Structure 1
Amino acid sequence: MTSVTFDVTLPHSSGATWRLAAELHLPAGDLPGTVQLLLPGLTYDRRYWAVPGEGDYTRHAVAAGYAVLALDRPGTGGSGHPPADQVTVEANAEAVHQVVRALREGRDGISAFRHVVAVGHSLGAGVAVHEAAGHHDLDALVVTSLLHATGPLYPEAVPALHPAAEDDVLRAANLPDGYLTTRPGLRARLYEHPGGVSAEMSAHHERAKSTVTIGEGLTLDTLYAPGPAAAVDVPVFLVAGREDRLFGGGEVSTGHAGTVLAHERKFYTGAPELDAFVVPDAAHSLNFHRTAPIWYAAAQDWLTRRVPPATPRP
């Protein structure tokens, strides 16, 4: 693993530059031509992709032969913390676009990759969709825990947040005003399936919390707008937790991949391929559940057949 950084500018930030932190993981042997760009969701950072033990998505992707870049989105983890109102869904997408461009072109410490695929969780998945729709520079999308419908727990999501400066886990970070996180003890109710996560992993889940900004909160509705999904013109793999009640259990049943696919096909009208996979015994935050490796294997298989890791380098 190599720690890397990217300097990006955000829309409406008067040209200010912000540094994004990331980890680059490479398989042994020849460098692959394809990199997976991992984008965490709301109140998460790149640690979402490195859950201890079998929950480490990064290890599974590297074992399949891919290079992996696990990114801290603007305002999360080790990345810079712009004013909260500037960190919107649009700003995330534009920052990710600059990272994609750097991965394709190469830069100090990073060789150029011929293909870039984005793997996103929840808000991170929506950011990937917006980036792909606006810039058409990704080769495939893996969209996890994000559907164009909400479930019965969704109304609880906003009341579950409080200022990060008041949170025992994040207080010491001295974050700017307008940075929020989940109230203590609520991650399990919103994001976990009872019985699907061990007590030790649930405690780790609480400790691994990160932030969401006021700007992201005010622009969340753009994640569910039909326009961006319709503009995606690359293959898309949808992954949902069977017990997700933030996006499942309401208008859309996540009990079967067929129901997920039938609903989402109305939105991804430009995607040349659209497939879906449902993870058993898992709720919204898939990677903390015991069954996470099931979807990891499904995603690597799906990606390998569409954008193989050993594609020729530029």
Structure 2
Amino acid sequence: MTAVSLEVTPPHAPGTIWRLSADLYLPPGEPPRTVQLLLPGLTYDRRYWTAPGTAGYVRHAVAEGYAVLALDRPGTGASEHPPADECSVEANVEAVHQVIRTLRTGTAEIPAFSYVVAVGHSLGSGIALLDAARHHDLDALVLTSLVHAFGPLYPEAAPALHPASGDPVLGPTAFPENYLTTKPGLRSRLYEHEGGVDPELSAYHEETKSTVPLGEGLTMDAIYQPGPAAEVDVPVLLVAGQYDRLFGGGDLSTEQAGEVVAYEGKFYTAVPGLEAYVLPDAAHSLNVHRTAPRWYAAAHEWLARRLPQAAPRRAVGN
């Protein structure tokens, strides 16, 4: 693993630089042609992808022979924390677009990659979706925990937040004004399926929570509009937790992959062969659940099948 720093320019301030933090993982041998860009969701940072034991997505992806860049989005983790109102969904999309451009051209620390696949969780999925719709700079999308229907717990998501500077896990760090995180103990209720998460992973889930700038929360509506999905024209895999209570509901059940494809196909009208995978015994935060390795395997089988030209050799010894 190599810690890397990337500089991006926010769209509202051309002369300003935001410094983003990321970890680059490479399998043994020559760098592969394909990199997975991992984008965490609201109140998460790159540690979402490196849970201990078999729950670590990064470990699985590298074992499959992929390079991985696990990114802390603006305002999260070790990345720069700009004023909260500047850190909007739009700013995130443009930051990700610049990171993708860097992955294709390379730097002294980062090899140049021929193929870039975005793997997102929740809000991170939405940012990848908007980037693909606007910039057409990705080769495939794996969008987890995001569909165009809200679940019964979605109205509780905003009231579950409080100032990050006063949180027992994140405080007393002096975050900028209007940086928030989940209130103590609520992650398990909102994001976990009871009985589907081992106690040590539930503790990790709480201990690794991150910040959300208010600007993200106030601008998320752009993700849920039908227009952006209709502009995506590369392969898409949707991954849903069987018991996700934040997304899915009404006319959409997340218990069967076919039902997810039938519903979401009305939005992803230009995607060639939209597919879905439903992770059993899991809720919104897929990666902390006992069944998480099943979706890791499904995603890599899908990538090898739908993007064979980008499939790497498996890492040595795996």
Interval containing the TM-score (normalised by the shorter chain):
over 0.9
- Residues of 1 paired with 2:190 and 2:199: CA distance? 15
Task: Give, as a single letter, the amino acid of the residue that structure 1 aligns with 2:188.
Answer: A
**1:234 counterpart residue number:** 234
1:207 correspondence with 2:201: no
1:145 correspondence with 2:145: yes
- Residues of 2 paired with 1:248 and 1:269: CA distance? 19
- Residues of 2 paired with 1:212 and 1:150: CA distance? 20
SS at match of 1:23: strand
SS at match of 2:59: helix
SS at match of 1:172: coil
**2:131 counterpart residue number:** 131
**2:36 counterpart residue number:** 36
Question: Which runs of at least 4 in structure 1 moved beyond 6 Å after TM superposition?
Answer: none
The 8 Å contact of residues 9 and 17 in structure 1, kept in 2 or not, is answered as yes
The 8 Å contact of residues 35 and 309 in structure 1, kept in 2 or not, is answered as no
**1:154 counterpart residue number:** 154
- Residues of 2 paired with 1:165 and 1:14: CA distance? 29
Identity rate, percent: 68
The 8 Å contact of residues 234 and 273 in structure 1, kept in 2 or not, is answered as no
Deviation at 1:100, TM superposition (A): 0.2
- Residues of 1 paired with 2:256 and 2:273: CA distance? 18
- Residues of 2 paired with 1:14 and 1:133: CA distance? 22
Deviation at 1:173, TM superposition (A): 2.6
- Residues of 1 paired with 2:282 and 2:136: CA distance? 31
The 8 Å contact of residues 88 and 215 in structure 1, kept in 2 or not, is answered as yes
- Residues of 2 paired with 1:85 and 1:43: CA distance? 16
- Residues of 1 paired with 2:172 and 2:11: CA distance? 29
The 8 Å contact of residues 242 and 282 in structure 1, kept in 2 or not, is answered as yes
The 8 Å contact of residues 151 and 251 in structure 1, kept in 2 or not, is answered as no
- TM-superposition CA deviations, 1:78-113 (whole Å, max 9, x none): 100011001111110100000000000111111110
The normalised TM-score by structure 1 is: 0.97
Please list, as runs of the form range in 1=range in 2, the aligned pairs for 1:103-118 lying within 5 A after superposition. 103-118=103-118
Answer with 216-225 or 93-102: which moved more.
216-225
Task: Give, as a single letter, the amino acid of the residue that structure 1 aligns with 2:282.
Answer: A
Task: Give, as a single letter, the amino acid of the residue that structure 2 aligns with 1:86.
Answer: E
- Residues of 1 paired with 2:81 and 2:119: CA distance? 23
**2:316 counterpart residue number:** none
Tell me how large the CA RMSD over aligned residues is: 1.0
The 8 Å contact of residues 26 and 68 in structure 2, kept in 1 or not, is answered as yes
The 8 Å contact of residues 241 and 283 in structure 1, kept in 2 or not, is answered as yes
- Residues of 2 paired with 1:201 and 1:65: CA distance? 26
**1:170 counterpart residue number:** 170
Deviation at 1:48, TM superposition (A): 0.3
- Residues of 1 paired with 2:178 and 2:11: CA distance? 18
**2:264 counterpart residue number:** 264
The 8 Å contact of residues 149 and 249 in structure 2, kept in 1 or not, is answered as no
Deviation at 1:14, TM superposition (A): 5.2
- TM-superposition CA deviations, 1:167-187 (whole Å, max 9, x none): 011113311001100000000
The 8 Å contact of residues 40 and 122 in structure 2, kept in 1 or not, is answered as yes
Question: Which stretches in structure 2 are left out of the alignment for 5+ residues?
Answer: 314-318
**1:72 counterpart residue number:** 72
SS at match of 1:262: helix
Question: Which stretches in structure 1 are left out of the alignment for 5+ residues?
Answer: none
- Residues of 2 paired with 1:239 and 1:46: CA distance? 19
